[in-house]
């Protein structure tokens, strides 16, 4: 466990899975935003998700240094929450059971391999099993695919996930808010994920009917 500054058992609990699709900045911004709101995050990172963090964000974003990285990049407010890191090979983890009180899950970013596994209920890893638990318990499951172009099997897998109850939230940032940096784009996707999980936020401005001057 990477602790915050209060009892994790009293906080809302959300599972975040990081897989090997490009978009590590979306994952870390989502993590930071949840932590800033005092959330207990149950984190699962696939083998390629670990490589993704390293390749796109550097050594500082290694899984075992993630909380210091988040504090340095997003500020001390992330200490309001806490992280429990789960082994993706641990099928006996709490997240593998519907009796565990995790209220929702986001896979951000979601690889096409993970998408296919969720669509077909394979449950070969903890990420896949935890997603299956969300579906069978009718809890929130947000899938953030990051791929382009998409093949017909990939599109069909998204439909299967949506029909099973997941929300498909592609990593497609908007531009009406006139983003200036990559962090602005990450804010938008993280905000969309938080909204889908039921959290209020101010990560991007609401659409008012006109573009800001």
Give the distance from CA 100 to its chain's centroid. 19
Cross-strand pairs, 185:
none
Instruction: Give pLDDT tens digits for 126-153.
Output: 999 999 999 999 999 999 999 999 999 9
Domain boundaries, the chain: 8-197
Residue 211: pLDDT band by 50, 70, 90 thresholds? confident
What value does the CA radius of gyration of the chain take, rounded to a whole number of Å? 16
Judged on CB neighbours under 10 Å (0-12, 13-18, 19+), 73 is middle
What is the average per-residue pLDDT within 53-71? 96
Place of tokens 């590590």: 24
Residue 159 to residue 8: CA distance in whole angstroms: 35
Instruction: Give pLDDT tens digits for 27-58.
Output: 999 999 999 999 999 999 999 999 999 999 99
Residue among 126, 128, 134 nearest 113 (CA): 128
DSSP state of 31: H
So what's the pLDDT on residue 7?
A: 53
Does residue 185 or residue 1 have the better pLDDT?
185
So what's the pLDDT on residue 213?
A: 63
Least reliable range by pLDDT among 5-9, 112-116, 159-163: 5-9
Give the distance from CA 32 to its chain's centroid. 10
Cross-strand pairs, 107:
17, 143
State the CATH class of domain 8-197: alpha beta
Structure tokens at 85: 């890191």
Place of tokens 């990081």: 18
Instruction: Give pLDDT tens digits for 87-128.
Output: 999 999 999 999 999 999 999 999 999 999 999 999 999 999
What is the average per-residue pLDDT within 171-188? 95
Phi-psi region of 58 (alpha: psi -120 to 50; beta: other; left: phi over 0): left
């Amino acid at each position: 466990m990477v602790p915050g500054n209060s009892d994790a058992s009293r906080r809302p609990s959300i599972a975040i899975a990081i897989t090997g699709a490009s978009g590590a900045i979306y994952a870390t911004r989502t993590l930071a935003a949840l932590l800033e709101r005092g959330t207990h995050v149950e984190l699962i990172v696939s083998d390629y998700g670990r490589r993704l963090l390293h390749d796109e964000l550097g050594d500082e974003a290694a899984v075992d240094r993630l909380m210091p990285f988040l504090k340095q990049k997003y500020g001390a407010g992330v200490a309001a929450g806490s992280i429990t890191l789960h082994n993706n090979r641990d099928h006996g983890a709490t997240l593998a059971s519907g009796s565990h009180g995790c209220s929702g899950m986001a896979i951000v970013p979601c690889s096409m391999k993970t998408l296919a596994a969720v669509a077909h209920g394979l449950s070969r890893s903890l990420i896949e099993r935890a997603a299956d638990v969300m579906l069978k318990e009718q809890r929130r499951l947000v899938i953030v695919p990051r791929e382009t172009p998409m093949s017909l099997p990939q599109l069909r897998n998204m439909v299967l996930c949506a029909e099973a109850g997941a929300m498909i939230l592609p990593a497609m940032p908007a531009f009406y808010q006139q983003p200036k940096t990559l962090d602005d784009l990450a804010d938008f996707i993280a905000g969309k994920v938080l909204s889908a999980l039921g959290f209020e936020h101010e990560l991007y401005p609401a659409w008012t009917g006109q573009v800001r001057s």
